[in-house]
């Protein structure tokens, strides 16, 4: 199954001289045209998950042991609306340290994911003292309405990254599923219409030590894209060579037969290239942002903005 041409937009566009094009728009620090606003909170740490509401008036922030709702509707100030405290108990923290993990840096609850579940609730998951949990948050009352184990759907380690898409109430996630963080998976959970949950075939290695960074849904084509970097086994060097990738699965894939029951049959992946001519590539993908076309526009006009670094 071929990847669509729009993914080629991730390639770095270079001029004939090998120089980067100037940015489309830029602002200097403290510019009056684009003021830089700061928000601080006494016990806000490790704010790594961000979600902007559809009307752009509220920013949800997943941090260490907490989730915040911020009012960003004003041009000159950011205000705290509400806050949900979501911390492991003393016993759960003790269990975490008993497994050899660091009390301060590994045993709090670090929020990995914030996603809109529907028009009234958010989905979130966190490392939760190396025993990952997921929760559903009512956006009106900004309170947790349900908490359950998220093992297999959310990383155990606060240092692991994952990528999640929620489409029509179904959860698609790319993550490490085990305590040691060595078993990568791309899965569909909460499958609807009686079809099974699906995952990658594990008898062959389809992913090589990946670091997932982002995900995106193409509703018109019914496909999901997962962006990551992994060890490129097609290259043989003294050191492992990292390679930027994009993987694709079909949203409605129900798996195959016999050994492929409940396994993706639509999985495929491709390399993303970001490189100056005659130079080493920027081979590690740090993040991807998906910019959809204006409402009613052609989905072929979707843009993907990638941020790359190099292992050298």
Residue 121 resides in a domain:
yes
Q: How far is CA 172 from CA 115, 163, 190, 194, 288, in A?
A: 11, 8, 9, 16, 17
Evaluate whether residue 259 is within a structural domain: no
DSSP letters for the chain: -PPPGGGGGGSPPB-TTSPBPPPS----TT-SSS-------TT-----EEEE-TTSSEEEEEEBTEEEEEE--SSS--EEEEEEE----HHHHHHHHHTT--TTTTSS-BEEEEEE-SSSEEEEEE-TTTS-EEEEEETTTTEEEEEEE-BTTB-SSTT---EEEEETTEEEEEEE-STTS--EEEEEES--TTPPPBB---SS---SS-EEEEEEEETTTTEEEEEEEEE-TTS--SSPPEEEEEEEEETT--B-SGGGBTB-SS-EEEE-----TTS----EEEEEEEEPPSTTS-GGG-EEEEEEE---
- Residue 152 backbone zone (phi > 0: left; psi -120 to 50: alpha; other: beta): left
Domain count, the chain: 1
Q: For residues 285 and 287, what is the distance between their CA atoms, to the nearest angstrom?
A: 6
Looking at the domain assignment, is residue 246 inside a domain? Answer: no
Range of the domain at 80: 42-160
Residue 48's pLDDT is 86
Q: Is residue 179 part of a domain?
A: no
Looking up residue 71, the CATH number of its domain turns out to be 2.130.10.10
Measuring CA to CA, how many Å separate 156 from each of 20, 153, 290?
A: 39, 9, 27
- Model confidence, pTM: 0.86
pLDDT in tens, the chain (312 residues): 444 433 333 443 333 344 555 666 777 877 777 778 888 887 888 998 999 998 999 999 999 999 999 999 988 889 999 999 999 999 999 999 999 999 999 999 999 999 999 889 999 999 999 999 999 999 999 999 889 999 999 999 999 999 999 999 999 999 999 999 999 999 999 999 999 999 999 888 999 999 999 999 998 899 999 999 999 887 766 678 899 999 999 999 999 998 899 999 999 999 999 988 888 889 999 999 999 888 888 888 899 999 999 988
> Would you say residue 96 lies in a domain?
yes
Residue 125 lies in a domain: yes
What pLDDT was estimated at residue 96? Answer: 97
- Domain membership of residue 61 (yes or no) is yes
192: in domain: no
């Amino acid at each position: 199954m071929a990847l669509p041409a729009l993914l080629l937009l991730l390639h770095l566009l270079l001029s004939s001289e090998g120089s980067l094009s100037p940015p489309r728009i830029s602002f200097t620090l403290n510019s009056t045209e684009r003021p830089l606003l700061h928000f601080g909170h006494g016990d806000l740490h490790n704010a790594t998950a961000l979600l902007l509401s559809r009307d752009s008036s509220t920013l949800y922030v997943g941090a260490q042991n907490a989730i915040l709702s911020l009012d960003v509707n004003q041009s000159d100030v950011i205000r705290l609306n509400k806050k949900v405290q979501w911390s492991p108990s003393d016993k759960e923290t003790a269990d975490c340290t008993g497994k050899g993990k660091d009390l301060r840096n590994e045993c709090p609850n670090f929020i990995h994911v914030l996603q809109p579940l529907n028009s009234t609730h958010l989905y979130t998951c966190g490392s939760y003292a190396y025993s990952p949990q997921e929760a559903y948050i009512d956006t009106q009352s900004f309170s947790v309405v349900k908490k359950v184990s998220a093992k297999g759907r959310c990383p155990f380690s606060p240092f692991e990254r994952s990528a999640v898409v929620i489409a029509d109430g179904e959860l698609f996630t790319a993550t490490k599923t085990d305590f040691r963080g060595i078993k990568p998976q791309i899965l569909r959970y909460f499958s609807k219409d009686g079809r099974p949950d699906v995952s990658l075939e594990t008898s062959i290695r389809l992913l090589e030590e990946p670091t997932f960074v982002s995900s995106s849904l193409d509703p018109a084509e019914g496909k999901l894209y997962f962006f990551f970097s992994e060890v490129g086994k097609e290259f043989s060097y003294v050191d492992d060579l990292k390679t930027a990738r994009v993987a694709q699965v079909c949203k409605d894939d129900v798996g195959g037969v016999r050994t492929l029951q409940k396994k993706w049959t639509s999985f495929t992946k491709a390399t993303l290239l970001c490189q100056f001519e005659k130079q080493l590539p920027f081979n590690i993908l740090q993040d991807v942002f998906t910019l959809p076309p204006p409402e009613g526009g052609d989905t072929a006009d979707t843009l993907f903005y990638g941020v790359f670094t190099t292992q050298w």
